[in-house]
Amino acid sequence: MSEIEEKRREIAELIALELGLGDLEALSAADRAVVDRQTDETIAGCAANSPEPADCTEANIRLRGLLQQYQALQILRSDEADARLAAEGEVFGREDDA
């Protein structure tokens, strides 16, 4: 499991507790789907670059911290992908230098 997947899981665990559903591992498929949907909405809504950012000030301190860490991991992942593509794209033939 990647760091970003682990962070998303931590967020989902908190959301499951906040929804009163208990332990993530013990959830039914339907409850897990609710938690997953709420987790996705929370991550998207609380992102700094969200087109319609949610007011996340009511989120508990732990959740806000996890959301910030998740966003930092997303940025890092994006930066790493950009660097990899740039490194791969730097191999050009002389005929491309015109």
pLDDT at res. 60? 73
The angle at the Cα of 59, spanning 55 to 64, to the nearest 5 degrees, equals 95
22-63 pLDDT, tens digit each? 999 999 999 999 999 999 988 888 766 656 656 666 667 788
Residues contacting 76, CB < 8 A, separation 6+ = none
Instruction: Output phi, psi for 23, to 5 deg.
Output: -65, 135
Q: Is residue 96's pLDDT more than 60?
A: no
Token reading at 39: 């987790």
Instruction: Give the type of residue at 70.
Output: Y
Q: What is the DSSP string of 16-42?
A: HHHTT---GGG--HHHHHHHHHHHHHH
Q: At 93, is the pLDDT very low, low, confident or very high (cuts 50, 70, 90)?
A: very low
The distance of Cα 55 from the centroid of its chain, to the nearest Å, equals 17
Domain boundaries, the chain: 3-89
